[in-house]
């Protein structure tokens, strides 16, 4: 089998750590709410979280659960503020903070360059909205190194649903056995890919216990190790 495509998750795979970025973004939202709206920053940040969880319950696995404009809209309405005027501003505050904290993982640019030189297509498969993920890739300096972005917004369903993987394969022009998927979330990235016949590489950078799955996949602790493994497939 000749490797024709490598699919990558983005958040916590190509950069780290989204958890740290997210926590910092809530801090910035709290400061913004106090300065811009004159309300309790803590109350706004908590209302933002509450609406985030509410959307998750209402639309599990669907792309709108990632839309920070919707999180902000619900929070502002809950606190009696003008959501139409301020929701998009809160969205921008949140993502500017995330961008500021992102750290590209060592070995990412080198692997992407090697894959392009080898004629292997690359795609980012992400449970997120297309606009912000494109912005992240630009900010990280990867916009010209990745061939395709496939978001759950475009596919209509989050991973581990099959549509996002099939769409990535279609864009890359290959069959499942000609591709490999690299991601940090075992259920969404690795099992989801294996469910449609794509080989999985689990970037287990947090040291989680090995899940129960009899299928064969490759496990690594760092992105550099993932890159070394992928190079053996070229």
Residue 22 annotated as catalytic: no
Q: Which of 95, 172, 183 is nearest to 139 (CA)?
A: 95
End-to-end CA distance of the chain: 10
Closest CA to 1 of 169, 125, 175: 175
Q: Is 158 a catalytic residue?
A: no
26 HSE (CA, 13 A, CB side): 17
Please state, as a whole number, how many other Cβ atoms lie within 10 Å of the Cβ of residue 126.
31
Cα gap 34→143, rounded to integer Å: 35
* CA within 13 Å, CB half, 234: 16
The answer to whether the CB of 232 falls within 8 A of the CB of 218 is no
Q: Which residues are catalytic?
A: 9, 11
């Amino acid at each position: 089998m000749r490797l024709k495509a490598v699919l990558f998750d983005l958040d916590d795979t190509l950069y780290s750590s989204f958890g740290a970025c997210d926590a910092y973004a809530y801090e910035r939202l709290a400061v913004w709410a106090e300065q811009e709206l004159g309300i309790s920053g803590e109350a706004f940040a908590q209302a933002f979280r509450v609406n985030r969880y509410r959307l998750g319950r209402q639309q599990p696995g669907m792309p709108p659960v990632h839309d920070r404009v919707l999180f902000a809209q619900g929070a502002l309405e809950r606190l009696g503020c003008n959501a139409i005027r301020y929701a998009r501003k809160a969205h921008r505050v949140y993502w500017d903070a995330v961008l500021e904290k992102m750290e590209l993982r060592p070995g990412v640019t080198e692997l992407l360059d090697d894959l392009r030189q080898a004629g292997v297509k690359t795609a980012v498969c992400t449970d997120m909205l297309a606009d912000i993920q494109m912005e992240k890739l630009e900010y990280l300096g990867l916009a010209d190194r990745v061939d395709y972005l496939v978001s759950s917004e475009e596919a209509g369903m989050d991973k581990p649903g099959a549509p996002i993987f099939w769409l990535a394969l279609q864009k890359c022009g290959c069959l499942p056995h000609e591709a490999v998927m690299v991601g940090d979330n075992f259920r969404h990235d690795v099992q989801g890919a294996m469910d449609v016949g794509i080989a999985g590489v689990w970037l287990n950078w947090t040291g989680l216990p090995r899940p129960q799955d009899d299928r064969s996949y490759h496990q690594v602790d760092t992105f550099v190790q993932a890159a070394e493994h992928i190079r053996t497939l070229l």
